[in-house]
Each structure stands twice: as structure tokens, then as C-alpha cells.
A = this chain, B = another copy of it.
Amino acid sequence: MDKTNISKPSLRRLPVYLSYLKTLPPSTRTISATAVAAALGLNEVQVRKDLSAASSSGGRPKMGYAVEELIADLEDFLGYRSTKEAVLIGVGRLGGALLSFKGFEECGMRIVAAFDNDPTKIGGRIGDVHIYDIRDFPAVCQQQGARIGILTTSPEHAQMLCDLMLQNGILAIWNFSTAHLEVPENIIIHNENLAVSLAMISHDLEEMMGKQKQ
């Protein structure tokens, strides 16, 4: 299956299908694209197309998809079954929340080490993750062979720490800081910007309240 041909909006929907399928009772052996679309309030044609792009087993007419197989296909397509190592810099409240989040392992990511410069944090652990001195970053990161770097620091130091990550084998930066980061073209960057989400919500809310006034 060619994974590179799928569109970004389709890719965004796959984890949503997956988490829905996992909530189904074990008695539900098969499910149709129509039923998935109805449950999630999505367009049926779109759901059918998404599922057939991601599932090699394919749905059978009238029968639909075997739920267990479809879950396996989606997990496989999304790379959940091959573990990717990640490191995290910045063990503040948000960093701590991510370190204790149980959902990453089932998505195929394992945080193998965390880093901070606060002596009261260094040497401790959150969940299963040890907190190292940021000065040990090059040695630990390279030894662990991590490819994903999670950045949960204040914006002032974000670029410097991003550069440190890239110098030590990190290929994808998951940026939770509000800083705009400059990275070479071949590096993957994913900005998790709460201000952007909030802007979307505020905009929709103002529009809705404007309509109610009319």
C-alpha cells in the first residue's frame, strides 16, 4: 500500500476512526463505512474512501469491514505498530503532563528520556521516564537513537534547544512552545499552538453570537 498518497485531511481522520472503532463492544464483529460515517457525523463517501485507502483487507459488500482487521490495518497504516523513540526537553507542567500521558505508547511513540536544567528535577522521574541534566542531552539522545524531539520549554530558549536536538539525530520536532522555529527543509516540524486553536474557537463563537443578535 502506498502510504504517501493519502491526503492530510484523510490522514487526520484515521486516528478518529480508530479511536471510535476501539469503543465498540466486542459483540460488534463487522461495521460498514455508512455506520462509521453516521456515528462520527462525517460524509459517507469520504469515510468509504479513507477506509479503503488505509485498509488492505477491504470491506465486503453488505458485510462491511471486520472490526478487528480494520483496527489492525489502521494501526499498521498509522505506524502505531512500529515504536519510535522520542525525547522531551522542558519538564514544566505541560512537559510533565505529556510524560505521564498513557496514550502515546499505543500510538507507537515511546518517550525514552526527558531533560531539564532545574537541579530539583534532574535525577527524578515521571512515569517511567528519567529526567536528565540538559548537559547530557547529546550523549543520551544519540545513545537512545531517538528521532522525535518534543519541545515543551519557554519560547526564549526554544530555537537553541531545537538546534541542539537537530545536531543530535532528531529528525522531527514536535513544538509545544509558542516560538516560531527555523529548521532546515528536510526536517519535520509540527507546531502544537494552543493560541491557534483558541483563535479558531473565538472566531466561531463571535460569528455565532453575531448571528444570534441579528
Interface residues of A (CB under 8 A from B): 3-4, 6, 8, 11-12, 14-16, 18-20, 23, 39-41, 78-80, 84, 92-94, 96-97, 100-101, 103-104, 107-109, 147-148, 171-172, 174, 178-180, 182, 186, 188, 190-210
Contact = CB atoms under 8 A, between A and B. Distances in A.
A199 B198 CA distance: 22
23 contacts: A8-B200, A15-B195, A16-B191, A41-B182, A78-B203, A79-B202, A94-B97, A94-B101, A103-B194, A103-B195, A104-B194, A107-B198, A107-B199, A107-B202, A109-B198, A109-B202, A148-B205, A172-B204, A172-B208, A174-B198, A188-B204, A190-B200, A190-B201
Contacts of A179: 19
A78 B100 CA distance: 33
A11 B195 CA distance: 11
Contacts of A94: 97, 101
Contacts of A79: 199, 202-203, 205-206
A107 B61 CA distance: 50
A160 to B, nearest CB: 14
B200 A11 contact: yes
Contacts of A205: 79, 84, 147-148, 171-172, 188
Given A12-B196, A79-B206, 11 more contacts: A12-B200, A78-B199, A78-B203, A93-B101, A103-B195, A109-B198, A109-B202, A147-B209, A171-B209, A174-B201, A188-B205
A138 to B, nearest CB: 21
Nearest to A41: B182
A188 B201 contact: yes
